[in-house]
Amino acid sequence: MMRVKLINYTPYAEKISAIAGKLCYAKCSFEDLEKISREEEKRFLKKVLKLGHLSVIEHTSFTFAIEGISRVTSHQLVRHRIASFSQQSQRYVEKRNFEYVIPPTIKKKKRLKQLFEKVIEQINNAYSEFLENGIPVEDARFILPNACQTRMIVTMNARELLHFFRLRCAKDSQWEIRQMANLMLKEVRKVAPILFKEFGQ
């Protein structure tokens, strides 16, 4: 089952972004900028977002723990280059009886679901046989399918997250990464609702 959890983020993310934005347009000192009220912060942040002055939100970052996604989705995710990724290794972590993702289009057709599960079982058996016959984990992994589940830690700054949500929460995005993106969006909205108001479901 897919799980997404926000495990770390820049404290006062919206305040820092508002201060960074206000700095660009004001003569006042840092001490004065820090005295910004929550209402002024909200108002100014909405203004800079509307203007597209997005460099100011790069000062904040968000870190997610993600599990239960397929390697298909992890391959799509790492295309977002202004981000940091750590992924569970198939070289060092044995994947006997690995968990896997079945696409909904296959899952809803009984015969095809059974065929999918049969193929997965065959792969699992072959993988185990390779290991039992001395094949290193790093070579046995070559048989593992894209359906194989993985775990990741992902960190993005707010600007890259906006770009990510714009692409991956869209209705024409692939179903699994869209599901993951919407879970990520739900998490960040708890701590930075103004920054991420416009995107997703």
7 and 38 in a common domain: yes
Residues 10 and 60 in one domain: yes
Q: Examine the domain organization and report whether 7 and 80 are in the same domain.
A: yes
Q: Are 128 and 154 within one domain?
A: no
Most confident of 15-19, 20-24, 104-108: 104-108
Per 3-state DSSP, the chain is made up of helix, strand and coil in percentages (nearest 5) of 55, 15, 30
Residue 200 has pLDDT above 60, yes or no: no
The model's pLDDT over 62-88, given as tens digits with 9 standing for 90+, comes to 999 999 999 999 999 998 878 999 999
Identity of the residue numbered 24? C
Do 107 and 72 belong together in one domain?
Answer: no
Tell me if residue 168 is catalytic.
yes
Nearest 5°: the CA angle 73, 124, 103 is: 35
For 128, the domain range is 94-143
Query: Is residue 156 one of the residues assigned to a domain?
Result: yes
Q: Which of 71, 159, 168, 178 is catalytic?
A: 168
Provide the number of structural domains found in the chain.
2
Say yes or no: 30 and 61 in one domain.
Answer: yes
Q: Are 200 and 179 in contact (CB under 8 A)?
A: no
d(CA 63, CA 85): 10
Is the pLDDT at 107 greater than 90, yes or no? yes
What pTM was estimated for this model as a whole? 0.91
Whole-number Å distance between alpha carbons of 155 and 10: 11
